[in-house]
């Protein structure tokens, strides 16, 4: 009889320990932050990527260095001013995106920049004239003519190809390039990559609403993980 009671006590203790461990495990999982926010079309980098060194000029012809990336958030788009389609529609989407941010009760500060992949034609003056068509406070950036920018572009994952046209004009060419936007954090590192949506016909375009939602989720996630 005594042995039977001892067995029941051991079983009860064992069940109690199992229950406690299960509760602790469940509680721990609830407290443990997820590795990344759930996004629709952006890729979040849990370990922000360091960018290669660069020496650029802005649309005013002034130097732009890595130190100027620090201290604030930056949304960087890429393209070239002679682009006939995706580049102007991307900038138009950024205009709508910025307008949505401005309507927030407590707008989060975000800077914008457009990096040209065609520095031969996109001089500071050309960038300034082109960006003036878009009602957005956006900085134009270009590699210096005497410096290669491959390392910087590769650190962002940019792919491009110059496609010459069969005409006498040496400046009549197009630039085939990857279509992404890049979120740079206040430490000057790549925090997220935003991908465009693609229609059934293969046309790529950024949806400003999706862009807004993913961006807000990233900022909220980072604020909550501090």
195 is in an annotated binding site: no
Q: Tokens 């009549």, residue?
A: 172
Helix (H) or strand (E) holding 208: helix 208-224
Q: Are strands 111-116 and 42-50 parallel, antiparallel or unpaired?
A: unpaired
Distance CA 104, CA 86 (A): 27
Question: How far, CA to CA in Å, does 162 sit from each of 61, 169, 170, 213?
Answer: 24, 15, 12, 34
114 is in an annotated binding site: no
Question: How open is the CA angle 113-70-124, to the nearest 5 degrees?
Answer: 35
83 is in an annotated binding site: yes
Please report, in range form, the residues annotated as the binding site for Cu cation.
83, 87, 177
- Please enumerate, by residue number, every residue annotated as part of a binding site: 83, 87, 177
């Amino acid at each position: 009889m005594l042995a039977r009671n001892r067995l029941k006590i051991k079983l009860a203790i064992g069940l109690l320990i199992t229950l406690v461990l299960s509760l602790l495990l469940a509680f721990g999982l609830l407290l443990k932050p997820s590795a990344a926010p759930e996004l629709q079309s952006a890729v979040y980098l849990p370990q922000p990527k360091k960018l290669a060194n660069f020496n650029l000029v802005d649309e005013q012809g002034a130097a732009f260095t890595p130190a100027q990336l620090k201290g604030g958030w930056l949304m960087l788009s890429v393209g070239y001013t002679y682009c006939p389609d995706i580049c102007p529609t991307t900038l138009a989407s950024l205009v709508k995106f910025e307008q949505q941010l401005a309507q927030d009760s407590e707008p989060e500060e975000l800077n914008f920049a457009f990096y040209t992949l065609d520095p031969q034609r996109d001089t500071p003056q050309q960038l300034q004239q082109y960006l003036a068509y878009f009602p957005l406070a956006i900085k134009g950036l270009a590699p210096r003519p005497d410096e290669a920018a491959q390392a910087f572009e590769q650190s962002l994952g940019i792919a491009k190809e110059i496609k010459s046209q069969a005409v006498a004009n040496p400046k009549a060419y197009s630039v085939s390039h990857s279509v992404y936007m890049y979120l740079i954090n206040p430490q000057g590192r790549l925090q997220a990559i935003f991908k465009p949506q693609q229609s059934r016909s293969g046309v790529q375009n950024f949806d400003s609403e999706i862009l807004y939602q993913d961006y807000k989720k990233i900022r909220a996630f980072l604020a909550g993980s501090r």
